[in-house]
A and B are shown apart, each in its own frame.
Chain A
Amino acid sequence: MSHHQPRVVPWRNSDELVLLKNDFYPDFEFGTPDRRPAALAKVQAWQVRARVPHAIESTAQLTSAVLLDTSTSGASALHLRLSYSTAICRFVNGLLDPAQQSQFALPMHLLAKNLNLPASFVELRHAATHEALPSLVVLRAVALRALDWLWCDYWAAIGVERDERAAGGAEEDVIVTRARSVIKTWRRLRRDNPVKEIKSGDSSAAGKEVAAVIKECVDICKLRQEEDEGMQALIAALLEEKALIPSGKKKAAVPGFLEGLLEAMVEVLKAGEELSAALLREARAGRPEVLQTEVLQTEDVQPSYDTEFLAAIVAWLEFLTALKQTRSGSVGASVDIEELIKQALLQPNEWNMQLLNHLISEYPNLRPKYQALIELAAIHVQARSSGKSKQGHAVGKRSREAIEAEIDAFEERFNRIQQQRERTQVVVVPNEEKKTQFAGKWKRWEKTWIPKPLGIV
């Protein structure tokens, strides 16, 4: 661990920065409150105390424009266009101006290329500055792309770097954070370009980024192999970050997104094979199992999962068990089809039925063995689903949201109490015997002063 020359930063500690990161790039899946306005207020306060890195300032300005657009504030189209334009211009200028290292100005396109910044940003900046104000449609899209770019370039590494520096005791968390971060990065890449084909050896900027993501995935999988932690973390992240399973709010993006991801994951696993055969075995065995469990457990928790989620899982299983994948050397090779069928039969539900039908059609040779059982299970499922009330479903969902909110409130309160305790611990007990030095209403510190960092009472 090397110590660089200390420098002043606007965030009080690295946690505050990580918090800001999560506030600016929230996950909307669980209905968490939008913390972006709070993040803007935080950056505004930071700017009063110190100079804020350009990435943070730009994120705030772009986010501010996005919020103006999404809110019901009644901002006119002109307001929005001006707001977006300024944010984008400042984003590009702040990035490229410091890159002007020579005495004479270099073309911005050249600088942008060196920084791996898409040339379209530079074009838009030029248009917004010197030409007709770009249309709102274009500005919206570019602003989102800029936010994604900032994520990949700056934010993705934020918590990770800190955790890497943290003590070894928290290694598990480090892996989890890394895994989450890489999956988030992946998602943003895909959103940027959802239909782009993924090829190995793609030398374009985006291709390189994809390759980097895949490499990072493989690296994570190799971490602490003996305990399988890296793999577990990646799988957990894939599930948690809704990378495997698209969230309900992105319906439109689902087909392309999922498809791309499938391809990418195949890449990940292939890369894994090249690097470590053992790892691949883990990958083959590991992931379907997890998915399997998810599906099979839906029996009990079904009301809380939405259909999209289950559909996605089934899609995954179908993909993995498709005939072409189970051929030797492919990803699904190690999946025990028969075992899967048995498991599915044991817990019959509509999703498992869908899966069973798929399996049977993919592997006709198994048909004679299981046909009768599957039909039996189908009858069972039909009977159950007809008896289920829709109301229960809704109740379950609401209660879960309520619980989430409650947990959040508790957490917030806990944090505050802890902060307060920290402060009260060092609060001084006034010493009556000492003479106090007054000047007007100003009073000198009464006891012997022990040097303390600024900000600590």
Chain B
Amino acid sequence: MPKRTREDEAKATPRLSAVAQRRLREQQIQSPTPVVSESVVKVRKTKSTAQKRHEETVVPPTDISNDKLARERAEIEQKLQKRVSEVKAIGRDPTRILPKDWSTAQMSPASNASRSREESPVSKPSPARRDMPSKTEESALARIKREREEKKLSATTDDEDVEMKSVKGSDEDEIMESGAESTTPKLTQVSSLVPTDENYSVTDSASVFRLQPGETLVLVGVYQITVTKGSVNISGAKLSPSSPTQTIYAPMTHALPVIEAILSKRKQTTNSGTPGAEIRITNHHSGILEIGKLCPTFNTIWKGSSKDLGGNSFAPIFTSATNIPIVVIPTSWKPTLKALTKKATSTNASPPIIILAGSKGTGKSTFSRILANRLLTTAGLDSIAYLDMDPGQPEFSPPGIISLSVLTCPILGPPFTHTLTPTRRHHIGHTSPREDPAHYIRAIIDLLSVYRQSHPTVPLLINIAGWTKGLGLELLHDILSHSQATDIVFLGGGAAVIAEIIAPNTTTLHELSSVAVSSSSSSSTRFTPADLRTLHTMSYFHRLSSRGWDFTTPLTGFAPWVIPYTGTARGIDGVHILGETIAAKELCTAIEGTIVGIVVVAEHNLPESFTPTPTPTPLSSSADDELLLPAILESPLAPDVAECKGLAVIRAIDSTNGHVHLISSVGESEIEEWERRRERVVLVRGRLELSVWEMLLPTGGVAAAEKELPWISTGEGKRSTGAVWRVRRNVMRRGQR
């Protein structure tokens, strides 16, 4: 799809608006829409449906009967009657939500691309529609739009969402978002389930939902789901009464997972009464809900648009006045998912090695989660291996680390909520492999060899960062040849570059369209990739060794490890700074109060030139104040001998006693394990950033502090030269398309 600009969009408006209007008229005339497949039901956040709904609020609701299963019609109509009476009772109270069951009105299935094109013009309210929303809504919309634009601008200036490509995926997303945003004046159906007394009951301990086949439910927050009847699908995972209770993390930072009842063909007769599924949703207070208390940016991620959870850890979202991104699995993905599942479960061949490639924001992570969940829950595999290669937005490790993991249960939450400890990790230290591509490739080769040695019988999913050009393409080439991939799933356009470099007789290339409206993790409208990294890093450091998180205090309130770095009892052998040679004198300046990787290495693998016992480093000629500093390891540690054990924050260096004070969520058993194997510990400083909120004191932050805190400024940010040079990669030249 060619790059589209706002100008183009504006120009195209009249023509496309006409198309949309014609569609609207057609739909109004149409008799009840034909039965459609499940997948299309999911497409509900479209402009046309929203418009249609709006039209329909004017006409008596009983005129519409477009539910997809004819036999359910009577029941639905009953619901509608009930709603109507409710609506009458409520009067014009705008605070009450008005679920509209008829919102499942179908439009003809269209490709995502064409749909988005049709949607875009409507983002600017056409004169015909302008009289409908009230003035206040209009101005509110304008405000929201402006804020989003501003946010977007600042987001795009962030260089840390390092893509190794020139085209930003967000271009496409922008148009789609604006299409979705135009629905904001009205309520949008989020769940297709319309709550009634029969299908939704709340007790003190749990909420029980009964879903008809194909009906969907969206919840926000953290919850545990138990299926008591039938089966449901959530993010590709099939859950049934035999499945264990699953904990689901559904924050607003990412597209919300959709629970969908599956039409079970076999069991339909066994259950008396209605087919479909019954699920029990219970609270799960794990501490991660409190993250907003530390970092205001994430204040509302666990809540719906404006509601309070009121003591619960979750809330169902039936309709919403704002755009809520939900996970939508494009229909076009289904054949590929099916084919890959078949390949993974066939016993006569070696397990597939599947690479997920494509530009940023095309849904690689979404696809990988869905595929993994599918393999683990419906295909009956006990475990799969997952090679996570994007140091910017990793799945199973904090940012700056790449890892190999073995999954045994489905992935039911965004990356920052995972509690899994990977099998093997490597510290990259940057959010992009660009700083040291050779080291990065060595790390990947090592992870691949660990996979071959330890888990050769399980399928491997490889999620790579969004690279399609330049250095990224070169790296991709290397990875392809080293991984001996059997399948490459390429999302979004531009698969041609891949097709050139794969061996067609051994590797199958699956080209898929990118994910639909706002359902990919990175196209979430409110949070930048840097925000998500902050979230992930905070979540990592606040995770307790047992399940759960402690967000009661910033890291300044965490008791540190006190580790000597001199003498025979030293627990830290040295410090390595990636890509720089720092004078001993400035070592503390460079690393104190920063995030470092904990890397362990067998003693015989340390470079020979390295003397692990640091000698007192005299900072001046006068002999009476010699300070002890950690030894500096000049050369980097090779990934095939060194392994990352996690991240730590050097909260202080006590150079008088030769101790480093370290905050880390690495478990005691792991520390003892590497000690037992007599491995040496090196702290590696990359360029990972610690959030300012972690550096404040728990009580009242900076304002309450007597004097200024180290490395924190509360002064006014400087203009132009005083600012950090943040790179924008989406500036276009005139005439560029």
- Residue numbers of A with Cβ under 8 A of B are 3-14, 41-42, 44-55, 57-58, 94-95, 97-101, 103-105, 115, 150, 153-154, 161-162, 165, 412-413, 416-417, 420, 423-424, 427, 437, 439-446, 449, 451-457
Decide yes or no: A455 and B731 within 8 Å by CB, A416-B619, A427-B654 being known contacts.
Answer: no
Residue of B nearest to A440 (CB): B675
CB distance from B392 to the nearest CB of A (A): 16
* Contact between chains at B698 and A451 (CB < 8 Å): yes
Residue of A nearest to B673 (CB): A440
Decide yes or no: A4 and B720 within 8 Å by CB, A48-B687, A97-B728, A456-B652 being known contacts.
Answer: no
* Contact between chains at B711 and A115 (CB < 8 Å): no
- Residue numbers of B with Cβ under 8 A of A are 5-6, 153, 157, 553-564, 569-571, 577, 580, 582-583, 585-587, 589-594, 619-620, 622, 625, 649, 651-657, 661-662, 668-669, 671-672, 674-676, 685, 687, 689-690, 692, 695-699, 701-703, 705, 708-718, 720-728, 730-734
* Contact between chains at A454 and B725 (CB < 8 Å): no
* Contact between chains at B720 and A115 (CB < 8 Å): yes
Residue of A nearest to B583 (CB): A41
Residue of B nearest to A37 (CB): B583
Decide yes or no: A48 and B725 within 8 Å by CB, A98-B157, A154-B718, A453-B556 being known contacts.
Answer: no
The residue that B715 contacts in the complex, of A153, A154, A161, A446, with Cβ under 8 A, is A161
Decide yes or no: A8 and B725 within 8 Å by CB, A14-B708, A440-B675 being known contacts.
Answer: no
Residue of A nearest to B726 (CB): A98
For the complex of A and B, the 9 pairs showing the least CB-CB separation, nearest first, are A440-B675, A441-B571, A449-B559, A55-B721, A45-B586, A455-B710, A439-B668, A439-B671, A45-B590
CB distance from A147 to the nearest CB of B (A): 12
* Contact between chains at B656 and A103 (CB < 8 Å): no
* Contact between chains at B725 and A94 (CB < 8 Å): yes
The residue that B559 contacts in the complex, of A54, A150, A440, A445, with Cβ under 8 A, is A445
Q: Which of B557, B652, B713 has the most CB of A within 10 A?
A: B713
Residue of B nearest to A48 (CB): B590
CB distance from A348 to the nearest CB of B (A): 48
The residue that A153 contacts in the complex, of B590, B674, B720, with Cβ under 8 A, is B720
Q: Which B residues are CB-close (under 8 A) to A437?
A: 668
A-B contact pairs, 29 of them (CB 8 A): A4-B715, A6-B692, A6-B714, A10-B711, A41-B585, A41-B586, A42-B586, A44-B580, A46-B589, A49-B590, A49-B593, A97-B725, A97-B727, A100-B731, A105-B732, A105-B734, A154-B718, A423-B655, A427-B654, A439-B669, A441-B675, A449-B558, A451-B698, A451-B699, A453-B710, A454-B709, A455-B651, A457-B652, A457-B653
Q: Number of A-B pairs whose CB atoms are under 8 Å?
A: 231
* Contact between chains at A103 and B651 (CB < 8 Å): no
Bound form: Cα–Cα A418–B701 in Å:
27
* Contact between chains at B721 and A54 (CB < 8 Å): yes
* Contact between chains at A95 and B580 (CB < 8 Å): no
Q: Which B residues are CB-close (under 8 A) to A9?
A: 711-713
Q: Which A residues are CB-close (under 8 A) to B727?
A: 97
Bound form: Cα–Cα A452–B661 in Å:
12
* Contact between chains at B721 and A444 (CB < 8 Å): no
Q: Which A residues are CB-close (under 8 A) to B564?
A: 441
Bound form: Cα–Cα A3–B703 in Å:
8
Q: Which B residues are CB-close (under 8 A) to A94?
A: 725
Bound form: Cα–Cα A413–B620 in Å:
9
Bound form: Cα–Cα A436–B639 in Å:
34
Decide yes or no: A13 and B708 within 8 Å by CB, A49-B591, A53-B724, A153-B721 being known contacts.
Answer: yes
CB distance from A421 to the nearest CB of B (A): 11
Q: Which A residues are CB-close (under 8 A) to B731?
A: 100, 103-105
Residue of B nearest to A106 (CB): B731
* Contact between chains at B661 and A451 (CB < 8 Å): no
* Contact between chains at B625 and A95 (CB < 8 Å): no
Residue of A nearest to B671 (CB): A439
* Contact between chains at A3 and B580 (CB < 8 Å): no
CB distance from B568 to the nearest CB of A (A): 9
CB distance from A94 to the nearest CB of B (A): 4
The residue that A98 contacts in the complex, of B653, B675, B692, B723, with Cβ under 8 A, is B723
Decide yes or no: A49 and B594 within 8 Å by CB, A4-B715, A6-B713 being known contacts.
Answer: yes
Q: Which of B592, B653, B698 has the most CB of A within 10 A?
A: B592
CB distance from B644 to the nearest CB of A (A): 17
Bound form: Cα–Cα A9–B724 in Å:
10
Q: Which B residues are CB-close (under 8 A) to A11?
A: 711
Bound form: Cα–Cα A125–B540 in Å:
44
Bound form: Cα–Cα A6–B717 in Å:
10
